[in-house]
Structure 1
């Protein structure tokens, strides 16, 4: 009985860790992933904004981000000279936390698996390394706790 209960608790906690946060709205600017919240209040650096409500409505250049478009996706074009915000590749994030560079990174429960994907560093809050099906992975939230 203890084994069954223990197994259930492990499974439940793993499921909770991997749940997608329904409040997270991702955004992409210059092929770099951020959140809509990241760009709120920074209207002075935004040249244009395009909102896509579903993954199916994404244009060809954004199809590769379909896995994070559950709540739609916003594409920002930044004004010239404002492209230099801090950004990291998934491989850099993993290596900085002592994890294999090819391991997926989870942000608000969304799995990012391409190590070349670039993410704005500012959205990586509350970063932890946790076990993910026997492998170490980086888990982060986009909101400060």
Structure 2
């Protein structure tokens, strides 16, 4: 029984560390790793530790950032490509207003923009009877 428990703990911790933590810059979704790798072009503006502490412009993400989020400030000429979730849906023939999942978190607002550099793997799956785009930040 102990071996089974230890195996489960090791597997779950490996899965947890494999996911990249989502972050926000100029109201666009990215990852901590992406923003840290661009440190001369980015700087941490504020860290919110709980969903309740999110400012009004980030409240729409409160279901995603339940444990808080880091907000970054973009310097001009950051060189990152950006795209709305609606545009991503259209590219693979999914209705623009369908939700998109990023690392298991559901984004229902299709006007939400993301940095395309976070996309490592994608899938088109059926979710609640609708074709849905799933984005993963790790392969």
Mark yes or no: TM-score above 0.5. yes
Cross-structure match for 2:127: 132
Pairing 1:56-135 to 2, within 5 Å after superposition: 56-82=52-78, 84-135=79-130
| Residue number in structure 1 paired with 2:25 | 29
Q: What TM-score, normalized by structure 2, do the two folds share?
A: 0.80
Does structure 2 conserve the Cα–Cα contact (< 8 Å) formed by 1:106 and 1:139?
Answer: yes
- Correspondence for 2:34 among 21, 38, 58: 38
Q: Which residue of 2 aligns with 1:142?
A: 137
Question: Equivalents in 1 of 2:43, 2:101: separation in Å?
Answer: 29
| Cα distance in 1 for residues equivalent to 2:43 and 2:121 | 30
Please give the root-mean-square deviation of Cα atoms over the aligned residues, in Å.
Answer: 1.7
Q: Secondary structure at the match of 1:85?
A: coil
SS of residue matched to 1:67: coil
**Equivalent residue, structure 2, for 1:5:** none
- Structure 2 unpaired stretches of 5+: 1-14
Query: 1:73 and 1:47 mapped to 2: Cα distance?
Result: 14
**Aligned equivalents of 1:107, 1:47: Cα separation in 2:** 23
Number of residue pairs the alignment of both structures matches: 123
Of 98-107 and 44-53, deviating more is 44-53
Task: Kindly indicate whether the alpha-carbon contact (under 8 Å) linking 2:28 and 2:114 is maintained by their aligned counterparts in 1.
Answer: yes
Distance in 2 separating the partners of 1:25 and 1:33: 11
Q: CA deviation at 1:24?
A: 4.0
* TM-score, normalization by structure 1: 0.77
